[in-house]
Structure 1
Amino acid sequence: MRAPLLTLALIAALSTTAVNAQTPPKQPAKPAAKAPAKPEATPAKARPKLMTRDELRECLARREANVTESKAIEAEDKELLTHADAVKSDKTAFENEQKDFVAAQTVLVADNEALRKRGEELSKTIGELKPAKQKEVKADYDKAAAELTARVDAHNARLKALKAREEALMQKIDDFNKRQSEASARVDKLGEAEDKWRAECGNRPYDERDEDAIKKEMAAKKAAGQ
C-alpha cells in the first residue's frame, strides 16, 4: 500500500507596509521556508504468481501420494512389531531348547564314560567268573550298551533337528533385519518427498476455484476405480 502524501504549506512572509522618513528602517524580509523533500512512496510488493491449474493438480497429487505412503508405512511398522515379537519368541524357545540339549548331552557323556569304565573293568574280571555268571554279566552290559546307543542316536537326531531349527531362525532374523532396513529407507525417502513438496508447493498461492475443480476430478477418478 502507498503511504499517504503530506500536504505542505508554502510560507512566504513578505512586508507590504509603506515606508516614510519617520519609520524605522525596515527589517530584511525573511527568506521563504523551504518545503521538506517529499518521502518516496514505498513500492508495492509484487504479488506472487498463482499456480496454474496443472501445477496445482500436480502438487495436490503429490500431497495425496505422500499421505498414502505415510499410512502404508504406519501399517508396515505395525506388521514389523508383530514380526519382531514372533522372532523374539522363536529365539527364546530355541535358546531354551538349546540349554536343555546341552544339559542332556552332559548327562549322556557322563553315562557313556561310566559304561566305558564298566566295560574295561569287566574285561579284566570276566575271566574269573563262572560261565553262567559271565553270560549274565555280559548280557547286562550289552543291554546297557544298547540303551546308551539308542540314547546317543536320539540325541544326534535331536542335534540335527536343532541345527535345522537354528538355520531357520537365523533366516528369520536376516529377513526381519532386511525388512527393517527397507522400512527405514522408505521413511527417509518419504521425508525427502515431503521436504521437496513443502519447498515446491507448500507456500505457493493458488485459486481456490481450481482447487475445488481438481478435488472433484480426483473424487471422480476414485469413484471410477482409477
Structure 2
Amino acid sequence: MKVKTLVLGSLCLALTASLQAQTPPAKPAAPAQPAAAKPAAKPPAKPAAPAAGAKPAAGGNVLSLGGPAARGGPILTRDELRACLAERDTIGKRQEAIDKEVAPLQTELEAIDKERETVKAAREALDSRRSGAEALAAKVKAYGDRVTALNKAVADFNENPPRAAAADRKRAELNKEQKELAAMKDELEAERVKVTTEAQAAVDAFNAKTEALNKRVDAWNQRRAEFNATRDKIKADDTAWLANCGDRRYREEDELAIKQGK
C-alpha cells in the first residue's frame, strides 16, 4: 500500500500574502507653521489736535484724523468724514476679530503635534508585530522542510519498498510522521489566522488614525491659509485708509454732527 504524499497547501501562500499585505502607509506630513506677522496697525481712536499756532478755518476748528495734517488741499466733506470714520471702526473690529483667531490656531497646532506622536507610537507598535510574523514564518519553513523530507521518503519507499518486517516498520514511521505533520499544519493554520487577524486589525487601526490626523492637518492648513488671507486684506485696507483718510483734515463741527447722528 502506497503512503499518500503531503503537500503544503495554502498555508505558506496565505502566510506570505498576509505578511505582504501588512505594509502600513507612509507617515503623515507635518502641518506648516503659521507665518508670524504683525497685525495691521489700528487707526487712532481719537483724532489728533491741530498743531499749535494753526489758524482755525472759518466755521470752526480744523482737525486731522491721525496723520500729520496736510498743508493745503481740500478739507473732508461731512459725508467723506463719515465714511472715513466708519471705515476706521470697521477695520478696528476686523483686526480685533482676527487677533482672537491666533490662540485657537496655536492650540490646535499643539494638539496636532500630540496626535502625531500618538500615531508615531502606533506605527512603532505595528512594526514590532513583524517579529511574531517572522517567528511564524520560521515555523512554516520548518514544517515545509519536514514535508519535503517526508515526500522524498515516501517516494523512495514506494519505488524501492523494503521487505517483510522492515517494510512494516518503515511504513509505520512514515505514517507517524504524516500524522504529526497533519497536526502541525492545523496548529500553524490556527496560529496564522490569529497572527494575520491581529496584524490586519492593527494595520486598519493605524490607517484610521493616520487618515484622521491627515484630515486634521488639512483642516488646520486651510484655516491658516484663510487666516493669512484675512490678515493680509486687513493690512491692505488699513494701509489704504491711512493713505486716503489718515492725513486728511476735517472740521470739528462735522465730527460732532456725525456723533449726533446728523
TM-score normalised by the chain length of structure 1: 0.66
Mapped to 2, the partners of 1:174 and 1:144 lie a distance apart of 44
Kept in 2: contact 1:108–1:152 (CA 8 A): no
Task: Give the letter aligned to residue 239 of structure 2.
Answer: D
The residue number in structure 2 matching 1:177 is 221
2:176 and 2:140 mapped to 1: Cα distance? 23
Q: Partner of 2:92 in structure 1?
A: 67
CA contact (8 A) 2:91 2:234 kept: yes
Match of 1:187 in 2: 231
Q: Is 1:85 the equivalent of 2:127? A: no
Q: CA deviation at 1:212?
A: 3.0
**AA matched with 2:111:** A
Distance, in Å, in 1 between the alignment partners of 2:222 and 2:194 is 42
Whether 1:110 and 2:134 are equivalent positions in the alignment is yes
**Aligned-pair distance for 1:182?**
1.7
Structure 2 match to 1:120:
144
Helix, strand or coil: the match of 1:206? Answer: strand
For structure 1, list consecutive stretches of 5 or more residues without a partner in the other structure: 2-44, 219-226
Paired residues for 1:19-30 under 5 Å: none
Q: Which residue of 1 aligns with 2:245?
A: 201
Q: Residue 143 in 1 paired to residue 187 in 2? A: yes
Give the alignment's TM-score, normalised by structure 2: 0.58
Q: Relative contact order (alpha carbons < 8 A, sep ≥ 6): 1 or 2 greater?
A: 2
* Matched residue SS, 2:222: helix
- Are the aligned partners of 1:73 and 1:187 in contact in 2 as well (CA < 8 Å)? yes
Could you say what the CA RMSD is over the residues aligned between the two structures, in angstroms? 2.8
CA distance in 1, matches of 2:109, 2:126: 25
Give unpaired runs (5+ residues) of structure 2. 1-52, 54-69, 155-169
What whole-Å deviation, never above 9, does each CA across 1:44-90 have from its counterpart, x for those lacking one? x9744321111111001111111111111111112211221122122
Shift of 1:107: 0.9
How many residues align? The count is 174
Partner letter of residue 132 of structure 2? Answer: L
1:184 is matched by which residue type in structure 2? N
Cα drift, residue 111 of structure 1? 1.6
* Alpha-carbon contact 1:115-1:145 (below 8 Å) kept: no
